[in-house]
Amino acid sequence: MEIKRLDKLPEKIIIPLRQHRGAVCEPLVKKGDRVLVGQKIGDSDAYYSSAVHSSVCGEVIAIEESAHPDGNKAMSIIIQPEDSNEAVEFSPGKDLSSEELAELIKESGIVEHYGMPTHTVLKPKGKNIDTVLINATSSEWIGGTFKTPKEYASHGINALKLLMKTAGAKKGAIVLRTDDEESINAFESIEVDNKKIKVAPLLGGRRIGYYFKEQDSGIIVVSQKHIYGKKILNFFTYNVTGRKVKVGCDPTDVGVAVCGVKSAKAFYNAFNTGKPFYETVISIEGVSADLEYMQVKIGTPFKDVIEACGFTGDIGKLIANGVRTGVAQYTDQVPVTKGVTRISIQKPEEVIRDESIECIHCARCVDVCPVELIPSRLAVMADQGRFDECRQIYIENCIECGDCAAVCPSKIHILQLIRYAKDAIEMAYEDLPAKESSNLKLGCGCGGE
Ligand code: SF4
Ligand code: SF4
């Protein structure tokens, strides 16, 4: 698989000041300023925030609201690039304490792909982390911008050590997918602390606790069969560690920090080269039969990515982050942000524009829901603003997989309705205590560590 690099400069780079959850950054530059590659151009004093950087050398031509890939608008710094790679001086980190490493992550603008600033995952206020997991189940080595599988393995282990030091955790694990043989072979070809790695499968009741003991090591690599996306952190944590995460809580509440391959690699780069997070690798779907991969500067408009892929012809729909659960875009001027992992292009004839009709109570959505919710009821309650009742039937357990909407013969926009209700609940119920999960897969009592 080849990663192309988008070197052609776009007419403008758009850097939203909100590319993470938490406080929005304040601009550190003004219209007319010249900025350099890697220069910090937005920041916030708030702990729950993350800096933003210029990905090009050029002039700030505006600071204004602009389209954001989440479907809203966000205040953004617009830069007209100049034909120069002049960059700020990057200084690698060395001998940093846990606090200094966390500060390096914040300063480098490193965030998880689900939006949490990575330093807040590793050092959440008022909580202790004892285990760090790198979730490598959904991205093979290529997705993390590593040049070779072997580089992925060695950098991955070193990144895990850095993450553990930041969190003050004694244990860490990289979780691969059982069918990702290339990655498994790569990890089994390297050593940790002069010992060959043996990738251990998580089978039956054996979770990582078993292998920490068996391998007598604080760092292990394991594999299991599922793909765990960004909304499935609680299940991932349970399946890997055996620790149940209550509804409304996250893995940090049970002492676990879950990081992605991309953020781990970005941290590794920031530590070793001093370079902040201003470039990312995304996949592009719809140009050819296979996915295309491209390394792009953060802030590059979708239009320039699409052109660089050689796509010609009419576009019916542009979607950020996957056809099933992503967000359709109303303009191709929307920029690639830290949270964008995929651009999907649909031709006009591929776009499905079905009108939704009434629920026919077929229960197909119930059958497919992987977390045993009742999506049809959630959709009705969300539509009617009955958020209390949504919470009573565990809407927070929804992992936003979109399977319910995909099978619904009435074409009801179930996922959108659920997301709408979850957002409303998050704003209204922030202070309520966490509840025990009703979910059978979480609460089956089938074991733990
Ligand atoms: S999106 Fe639908 S199918 Fe998927 S977890 Fe949520 S309710 Fe269940
Ligand atoms: S799949 Fe659609 S039509 Fe069938 S019960 Fe669920 S919401 Fe209703």
In this structure, is residue 357 part of a structural domain?
A: no
Average pLDDT on 238-244 reads 92
In this structure, is residue 445 part of a structural domain?
A: no
- Which of 273, 296, 320 is the last residue in one of the domains? 273
Average pLDDT on 342-364 reads 87
Specify whether 388 is located in the same domain as 269.
Answer: no
Average pLDDT on 31-46 reads 97
Q: What is the pLDDT of residue 141?
A: 56
- Which of 346, 372, 406 is the last residue in one of the domains? 346
Ligand 1 centroid to Cα of residue 418, in Å, is 8
Average pLDDT on 27-40 reads 98
Residue 442 has pLDDT above 80, yes or no: no
Ligand 2 centroid to Cα of residue 317, in Å, is 25
In this structure, is residue 200 part of a structural domain?
A: yes
Neighbour count for residue 419 (Cβ, 10 Å): 17
Q: Which of 324, 398, 425 to mutate to test the pocket of ligand 1 (most atoms within 8 A of CB)?
A: 398
Q: What is the pLDDT of residue 400?
A: 84
In this structure, is residue 133 part of a structural domain?
A: yes
Q: How confident is the model at residue 327 (pLDDT cuts 50, 70, 90)?
A: confident
Is the Cβ atom of 361 under 6 angstroms away from ligand 2? yes
**Ligand with an atom nearest the CA of residue 359:** 2
Specify whether 105 is located in the same domain as 242.
Answer: yes
Specify whether 55 is located in the same domain as 201.
Answer: no
Residue 211 has pLDDT above 50, yes or no: yes
Specify whether 126 is located in the same domain as 137.
Answer: yes
Is the Cβ atom of 368 under 6 angstroms away from ligand 2? no
Specify whether 108 is located in the same domain as 257.
Answer: yes
* Cα–Cα distance for residue pair 308/282, rounded to 1 Å: 13
Ligand 1 centroid to Cα of residue 271, in Å, is 38
Percent of the chain with pLDDT over 90: 59
- The closest alpha carbon to 398, from 195, 235, 239, belongs to 235
Radius of gyration over every alpha carbon of the chain, rounded to an integer in angstroms? 22
In this structure, is residue 308 part of a structural domain?
A: yes
Q: How confident is the model at residue 447 (pLDDT cuts 50, 70, 90)?
A: very low
* Cα–Cα distance for residue pair 73/69, rounded to 1 Å: 8
Specify whether 263 is located in the same domain as 140.
Answer: yes
- Which of 217, 246, 273 is the last residue in one of the domains? 273
Give 3-state DSSP helix, strand, coil % of the chain, rounded to 5.
30, 20, 50
Q: What is the pLDDT of residue 445?
A: 29
**Ligand with an atom nearest the CA of residue 231:** 1
Query: Going by DSSP bridges, is the β-strand pair 13-16/26-27 parallel, antiparallel, or unpaired?
Result: unpaired
Specify whether 250 is located in the same domain as 297.
Answer: no
Residue 1 has pLDDT above 80, yes or no: no
Specify whether 117 is located in the same domain as 247.
Answer: yes
Query: For residue 332, what are its two tokens?
Result: 């191709």
Residue 312 has pLDDT above 50, yes or no: yes
Average pLDDT on 56-60 reads 97
Question: In terms of residue numbers, what domain contains 48?
Answer: 3-90+276-346
Across all residues in the chain, what is the average pLDDT? 88
Ligand 2 centroid to Cα of residue 413, in Å, is 10
Higher confidence at residue 119 or residue 330? 119
Specify whether 9 is located in the same domain as 116.
Answer: no
Residue 172, amino acid: G
Ligand 1 centroid to Cα of residue 34, in Å, is 47
User: Number of structural domains, the chain?
Assistant: 3
Specify whether 237 is located in the same domain as 145.
Answer: yes
